[in-house]
């Protein structure tokens, strides 16, 4: 199959039962350490939200959420969440979270538009987190500070697992490398964004790419971002724009770059209006979330999502995300995987 990578000579180090226990170990350890490092309290998350509120995540603007009518609410339509980027910010206000504190939650989403391969599933599970910040913290140095904290938790989890599973050898570098997408485009002008990302992560092994969403010097964004959560237009330095980015590491099993987290400082009132105008979506101003933000009812914040299955797949040296989560896969993919010692749950 063209979308499937089969590592040469692959054999899983853990059977299914051992894998299930290891998944629990990873999730428990990472979650508790992330909460302590960023001062986050756990919150219960919705599986679905009402359509027309502006709360659901539009991702790149082309993904269609799964929806259904609610019979006992006069046929109002609910949508399965695609992420909780905007819901979390509303909860910071509703729960009265103070400066420097925030919340995290288990986010379970359904994204039927995903192209299924080793890394992508219809089912998405991640730790969604959000934290209250001050106006003076809407800077690249503060963004980098939070990224380093998250990376430290990732490194700590790697050590925790190495201590329990001898087959897991430390691979992550001591420090994460920061690079702006504009610098990346200038360094590799003849590559497309995906190729540039692959090359820089191959070199540095753990990278945070800053500034995702705005067009670069060549007129093409590094990747797409919805206009109403991450701030990708605020100017920082050297004429660069964007207060967001992705944590990406190198996956030695699949020999490719491997995104673990999308995150960033969220839009303030000015950035929201600018990004809605750029994307031609000014009509969203009338939606519940957007009205609350424009009326200054929501705190400034930083937040993101960290893939749970992605993290487990990486640490357990698995070749397919279906080895650490239950999903639905094409029969041909299941058969090819089974023939190559990749056993999907």
Question: Buried b / exposed e across 109-141, counting CB within 10 Å, b at 16+?
Answer: bbbeeeebbbbebebbbbbbbbbbbeeebbbbe
Q: How crowded is residue 231: how many other Cβ atoms within 10 Å of its Cβ?
A: 27
Boundaries of every domain in the chain = 16-339
Q: Is 132 helix (H, G, I), strand (E, B) or coil?
A: strand
> What are the distances in angstroms from CA 45 to CA 56, 82, 104, 317?
12, 12, 9, 29
Residue for token pair 């101003």:
285
pLDDT tens string 140-187: 999 999 999 999 999 999 999 999 998 899 999 999 999 999 999 999
Alpha-carbon distance of 206 to 12, in angstroms, equals 24
Please tell me the predicted confidence (pLDDT) of residue 58.
65
Task: Say which of 144, 148, 259, 292 is annotated catalytic.
Answer: 259
Q: Rounded to 5 degrees, what are φ and ψ at 257?
A: -70, 155
- The rounded mean pLDDT for the chain is 93
**pLDDT value, residue 53:** 86
| Three-class SS state of 264 | strand
Q: How many CB atoms lie within 10 A of CB 159?
A: 11
Per-residue pLDDT tens digits for 48-73: 998 888 888 765 545 578 889 999 99
Partners of residue 179 on adjacent β-strands: 209
Catalytic residue among 79, 182, 246, 268: 246
Strand 67-70 relative to strand 40-42: parallel, antiparallel, unpaired?
unpaired
Q: Please tell me the distance from the alpha carbon of residue 146 to that of residue 135, in angstroms, as a whole number.
A: 15
Is 186 one of the annotated active-site residues of the chain? no
Measured distance CA(293)–CA(35) in Å, rounded: 26
The conformational region for residue 315 under phi > 0 = left, psi -120 to 50 = alpha, else beta, is: alpha
Gap between the Cα atoms of 138 and 134, Å rounded: 7
**d(C-alpha 323, C-alpha 10), whole Å:** 13
- Which residue, 233, 69, 68, is CA-closest to 138? 233
74 Cα distance to chain centroid: 35
**pLDDT at residue 63, as a whole number:** 59
332 noted as active-site residue = no
Looking at residue 60, what is its pLDDT?
53
pLDDT tens sequence across 322-341: 999 999 999 999 999 999 99
DSSP H helical segments within the chain, as ranges? 16-38, 85-94, 140-162, 181-187, 193-204, 269-278, 288-294, 308-315, 331-339
Out of 82, 262, 301, 325, the active site residue is 262
Is 284 labeled as catalytic in the residue annotation? no
Active site annotation includes 94: no
Query: For residue 286, which phi and psi values (nearest 5 degrees)?
Result: -90, -5
Catalytic residue, chosen from 82, 83, 126, 309, is 126
Convert the pLDDT of each residue in 73-130 to its tens digit.
Answer: 988 999 998 889 899 999 999 999 999 999 999 999 888 888 899 999 999 999 999 9
Active-site annotation holds for 259: yes
Active site residue 111: yes
Active-site pick, 57, 137, 183, 231: 57
CATH fold for the domain made of 16-339: BirA Bifunctional Protein; domain 2 (3.30.930)
Residues 193, 228: contact at Cβ < 8 Å? no
What span, in angstroms and rounded, lies between the C-alpha atoms of 345 and 343?
7
Q: In sequence order, what are the residues at sequence separation of 6 or more whose Cβ sits closer than 8 angstroms to the Cβ of residue 272?
A: 227, 228, 290, 293, 294
Is the pLDDT reported for residue 25 higher than 70?
yes
């Amino acid at each position: 199959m063209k979308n499937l990578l089969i590592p040469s000579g692959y054999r899983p180090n853990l059977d299914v039962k051992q894998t299930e226990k290891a998944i629990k170990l990873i999730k428990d350890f990472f979650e508790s350490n992330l909460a302590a490092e960023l001062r986050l309290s756990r919150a219960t998350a919705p599986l679905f939200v009402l359509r027309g509120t502006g709360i659901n995540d539009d991702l790149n603007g082309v993904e269609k959420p799964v929806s259904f009518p609610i019979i006992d609410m006069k046929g109002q339509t609910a949508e399965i969440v695609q992420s909780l980027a905007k819901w979390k910010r509303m909860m910071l206000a509703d729960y009265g979270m103070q400066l420097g504190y925030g919340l995290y939650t288990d986010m379970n989403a359904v994204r039927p538009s995903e192209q299924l391969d080793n890394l992508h599933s219809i089912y998405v599970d991640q730790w969604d987190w959000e934290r209250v910040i001050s106006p003076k913290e809407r800077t690249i140095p503060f963004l980098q500070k939070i990224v380093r904290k998250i990376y430290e938790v990732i490194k700590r989890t790697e050590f925790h697992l190495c201590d329990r599973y001898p087959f897991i050898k430390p691979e992550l570098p001591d420090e994460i490398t920061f690079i702006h997408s504009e610098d990346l485009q200038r360094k590799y002008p003849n590559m497309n964004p995906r190729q540039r990302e692959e090359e820089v992560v191959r070199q540095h092994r753990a990278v945070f790419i800053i500034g995702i969403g705005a067009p670069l010097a060549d007129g093409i964004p590094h990747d797409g971002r919805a206009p109403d959560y991450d701030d990708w237009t605020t100017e920082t330095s050297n004429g660069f724009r964007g207060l967001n980015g992705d944590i990406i590491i190198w996956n030695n099993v699949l020999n490719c770059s491997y995104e673990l987290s999308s995150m960033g400082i969220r839009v303030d009132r000015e950035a929201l209006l600018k990004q809605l105008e750029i994307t031609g979506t000014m009509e969203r101003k009338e939606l519940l979330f957007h009205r609350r933000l424009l009326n200054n009812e929501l705190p400034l914040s930083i937040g993101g999502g960290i893939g749970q299955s992605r993290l487990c797949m990486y640490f357990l040296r698995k070749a397919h995300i279906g080895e650490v989560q239950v999903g639905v896969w094409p029969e041909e993919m299941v058969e090819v995987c089974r023939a190559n010692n990749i056993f999907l749950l």
